[in-house]
């Protein structure tokens, strides 16, 4: 009691200095002290009071959706102790005062967009809001027409759904009609209210969802129409925090359990305690800690070894930061238990904790052992036994006296150890003995071919004269002298229209294994003493083909799987003794894959795909045509991706002709052979992974 009265006397003694220094500091930096709103002559006026007059009207801008007015005041801070002021008067909802760097932004949250006028009056900034245009009073027909036109401006919400996200977070997903819909989100008590501006709600979505069975902070979701807005009321429980984001037309509100750090003085990032100002000259550390205890309502226990004095001046500093500064300056440490703080030198705290740990280790060596059985459902008992018994030191789950027995027939574990270690084993088994998610992987290998071939040729022969006793003689590439007696009429078909006597033989070779079509003409005299044979052959082939191979397989997460189908072709090979043996060469369709499901629900695939087919037969055996791809790819659940492809194009244009004669215009075509071919081969590989069951979403 005596220390407390002494601390208050010291605090009152330094109050005068604190006020004097505060007045000097106010001249150096401006600050927002108060925000009020009133209606003057039918005009809404917002009054922002500052510690000192402003140099001029601050710069500002307006936002149409959501309706806001933002004013930036340079060289100012927030001295109100809060960052949001709820007004709910006229067109004004609330005002946010946010300090960032060397400026403070004043954000006026409006119900409807409007313009404003700002002026400086003494130490205050007056912001006048222009009236919002409303429909003039008139007959009911005019009012109805206005209501209809207003409803015509609204767009219906497409869908509203709820899902369980990672870390037991609740996700409210709203499908908007467009990405231009304005959204207003705010917290009212323990409720989170989300309003979609200029929107309508279909009858099928006007409902109340009870989502308490999903195991998230969200309990109920209520949607209803409120004028030209759609209002979604989210009711969580416990300590929670929220975040909202939009991706194109999908708006997501995520509510998660607030993570509480018991070692921190105040929850939240950084220092979030209420601000205070301290100005003391040579004050005892014990008395200063008592002042902070009275300010924060924390119970502080100070060690007998805490001594010394400190001089400090802190202005508008969070109290948890001020306490941290004092402890660091004097080499002190702190341990928090509930609302009780124990403060002592760091060496003393470390020695005490070391003594407690040594005591716990000694107790563990004397604590009686207990045996407990664990029934495993999805994991092999031998694998869990290896994990909990391996490791040394802190990495070992069992104590030095603990032991484990795995029984494979019933898939049970029998663990003998102290009770605290048995609890750790139970916690580990709960996390490891879970059903592994499965993935269906489907591959589609598409092979397409497009072939075209064209061939054109001619043959030419004749018998223009007679000699050797009147024998008829043909000439050409093949010398054949038919024995036709003079004055004897030769038989048609025996020597006419045959290849005998062709002196130009460049016929079409055919395409695709088919012979070319031909057309022959013979010109001769009546007694067949002179004749001319002409044969033209041509062939054109066009072919298209498509081959689709679709292997598919189901496997567990992070487990390699293989599916294969094909044929083994025999061939002979020489052995070391000189004899021959029969070996086999495989031509298979193979899919080898290892899936990995990411926390976001996507799937990473390690792929090895091959597509072999029989090739040409050679003297050494049968050749194998191979197509092989090996890669790693990230695919969304149920999505399809092209992981690779091969395109081949072969074009051939050949011309064979008789020199000089083949260059004659038009008639030169009788002395040449032309062939043209084009072959296109294309292969594409598609992969589609899909999770068979999402068990985490069902919890």
Tens of pLDDT, residue by residue over 227-263, are: 888 999 999 988 888 888 887 788 899 998 877 666 5
The pLDDT tens digits of the residues spanning 348-361 come to 989 998 998 888 87
pLDDT confidence of residue 439 = 92
Rounded distance, CA 184 to CA 199, Å? 12
Give the Å distances, CA to CA, from 515 to 535, 541, 576, 670.
14, 11, 48, 19
Least confident residue range of 8-12, 342-346, 646-650: 8-12
CA distance 258 to 234: 16
Tell me how far apart the alpha carbons of residues 506 and 501 are, in angstroms, rounded to a whole number: 14
Q: Which tokens is 677 given?
A: 């071919």
Q: How far apart are CA 198 and CA 343, in angstroms?
A: 57
pLDDT by residue (tens digit) across 653-683?
888 888 877 788 877 877 888 888 888 888 8
With cut-offs at 50, 70 and 90, classify the pLDDT of residue 218: very high
The token duo for 419 is 């009770």
Measure the CA–CA gap between 12 and 307, rounded to whole angstroms: 22
**3-class secondary-structure state, position 601:** coil
Distance CA 303, CA 306 (A): 6
Cβ neighbors of 360 (< 8 A, separation 6 or more) are none
In the predicted structure, residue 464 carries a pLDDT above the cut 60: no
Whether 1 has a pLDDT exceeding 50, the answer reads no
670's tokens: 């009788």
Burial of 332 (0-12, 13-18, 19+ CB in 10 A): buried
| CA–CA distance, 640 with 406 (Å, rounded to integer) | 43
Judging by DSSP bridges, how do beta strands 340-345 and 299-302 pair with one another?
A: parallel
User: Rounded distance, CA 446 to CA 608, Å?
Assistant: 16
- Supply the pLDDT for residue 681: 86
Q: What is the pLDDT of residues 115-155, one digit of tens each?
A: 888 888 888 999 988 877 543 333 443 343 344 444 446 88
Report the pLDDT averaged over residues 569-594.
83
Q: What is the DSSP letter of 146?
A: H
As to burial, measured by CB atoms within 10 angstroms (0-12 exposed, 13-18 middle, 19+ buried), residue 113 is middle
Beta-strand relationship, 438-463 and 672-691:
antiparallel
Residue 410: which pLDDT band, with cuts at 50, 70 and 90? very high
Determine how many CB atoms are found less than 10 A away from the CB of residue 323: 26
CA-based R_g, the chain, Å: 46
Distance CA 680, CA 684 (A): 13
Q: What would the mean pLDDT of 321-326 be, rounded to a whole number?
A: 86
126/518: higher pLDDT: 126
Q: Could you give the CA distance from residue 65 to residue 62 in angstroms, rounded to a whole number?
A: 9
Which residues lie closer than 8 Å to 580 by C-beta, 6 or more apart?
572, 573, 574
CA-closest candidate to residue 307, choices 252, 270, 279, 344? 344
The continuous run of DSSP H or E covering 299 comes out as strand 299-302
Mean pLDDT of 42-46: 83
């Amino acid at each position: 009691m005596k220390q407390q009265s002494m601390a208050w006397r010291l605090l009152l003694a330094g109050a005068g200095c604190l006020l004097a220094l505060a007045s000097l500091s106010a001249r150096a930096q401006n600050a927002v002290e108060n925000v009020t709103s009133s209606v003057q002559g039918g005009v809404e006026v917002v009054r922002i009071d500052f510690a000192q007059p402003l140099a001029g009207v601050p710069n500002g801008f307006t936002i149409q959706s959501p309706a806001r007015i933002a004013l930036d005041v340079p060289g100012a801070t927030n001295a109100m102790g809060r960052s949001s002021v709820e007004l709910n008067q006229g067109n004004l909802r609330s005002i946010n005062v946010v300090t960032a760097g060397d400026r403070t932004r004043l954000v006026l949250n409006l119900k409807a967009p409007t313009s404003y006028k700002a002026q400086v009056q003494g130490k205050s900034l007056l912001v006048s809001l222009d009236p919002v245009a409303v429909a003039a009073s008139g007959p009911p027909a005019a009012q109805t027409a206005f209501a209809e036109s207003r409803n015509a401006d609204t767009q219906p919400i497409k869908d509203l759904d709820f899902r369980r996200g990672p870390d037991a977070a609740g996700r409210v997903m709203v499908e908007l009609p467009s990405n231009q819909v304005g959204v207003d989100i705010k917290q009212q008590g323990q409720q989170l209210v989300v309003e979609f501006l200029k929107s309508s709600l279909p009858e099928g979505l006007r409902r109340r969802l009870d989502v308490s069975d999903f195991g998230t902070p969200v309990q109920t979701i209520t949607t209803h129409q409120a004028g030209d807005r759609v209002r979604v009321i989210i009711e969580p429980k416990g300590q929670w925090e929220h975040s909202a984001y939009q991706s194109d037309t999908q708006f997501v509100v995520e509510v998660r359990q607030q993570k509480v750090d018991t070692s921190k003085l105040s929850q939240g990032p950084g220092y979030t305690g209420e601000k205070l100002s301290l100005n003391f000259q040579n004050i005892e550390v014990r008395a200063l800690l008592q002042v902070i205890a009275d300010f924060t309502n924390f119970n502080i226990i100070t060690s007998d070894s805490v001594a010394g004095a400190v001089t400090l001046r802190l202005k508008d500093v969070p109290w948890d930061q001020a306490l941290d500064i004092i402890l660091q300056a004097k080499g002190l440490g702190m341990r928090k238990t509930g609302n009780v703080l124990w403060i002592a030198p760091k060496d003393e705290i470390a020695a005490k904790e070391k003594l407690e740990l040594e005591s716990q280790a000694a107790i563990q060596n004397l604590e009686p052992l207990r045996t407990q059985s664990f029934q495993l459902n999805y994991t092999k008992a031998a694998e869990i036994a290896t994990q909990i018994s391996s490791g040394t030191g802190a990495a070992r789950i069992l104590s030095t006296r603990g032991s484990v027995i795995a029984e494979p027939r019933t898939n049970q574990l029998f663990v003998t150890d102290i009770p605290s270690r048995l609890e750790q084993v139970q916690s580990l088994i709960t996390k490891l003995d879970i059903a592994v998610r499965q993935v269906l992987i489907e591959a589609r290998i598409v092979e397409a071919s497009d072939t075209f071939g064209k061939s054109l040729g001619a043959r030419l022969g004749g018998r223009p004269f007679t000699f050797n006793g009147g024998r008829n003689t043909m000439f050409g590439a093949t010398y054949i002298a038919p024995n036709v007696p003079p004055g004897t009429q030769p038989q048609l078909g025996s020597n006419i229209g045959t290849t005998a006597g062709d002196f130009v033989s460049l016929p079409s070779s055919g395409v695709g294994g088919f012979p070319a079509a031909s057309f022959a003409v013979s010109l001769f005299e009546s007694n067949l003493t002179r004749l001319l044979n002409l044969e033209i052959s041509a062939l054109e082939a066009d072919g298209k083909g498509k081959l689709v191979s679709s292997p598919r397989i189901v496997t567990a997460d992070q487990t390699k799987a293989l599916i294969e189908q094909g044929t083994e072709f025999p061939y002979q090979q020489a052995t070391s003794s000189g004899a021959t043996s029969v070996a086999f060469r495989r031509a298979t369709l193979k899919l080898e894959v290892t899936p990995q499901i990411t926390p976001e629900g996507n799937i990473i695939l390690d792929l090895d795909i091959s597509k072999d087919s029989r090739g040409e037969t050679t003297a050494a055996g049968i050749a194998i045509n191979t197509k092989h791809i090996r890669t790693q790819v990230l695919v969304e659940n149920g999505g399809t991706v092209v992981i690779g492809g091969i395109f081949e194009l072969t074009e051939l244009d050949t011309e064979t002709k008789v020199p000089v004669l083949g260059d004659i215009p038009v008639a030169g075509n009788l002395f040449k052979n032309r062939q043209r071919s084009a072959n296109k081969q294309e292969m594409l590989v598609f992969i589609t992974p899909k999770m068979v069951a999402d068990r985490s979403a069902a919890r």
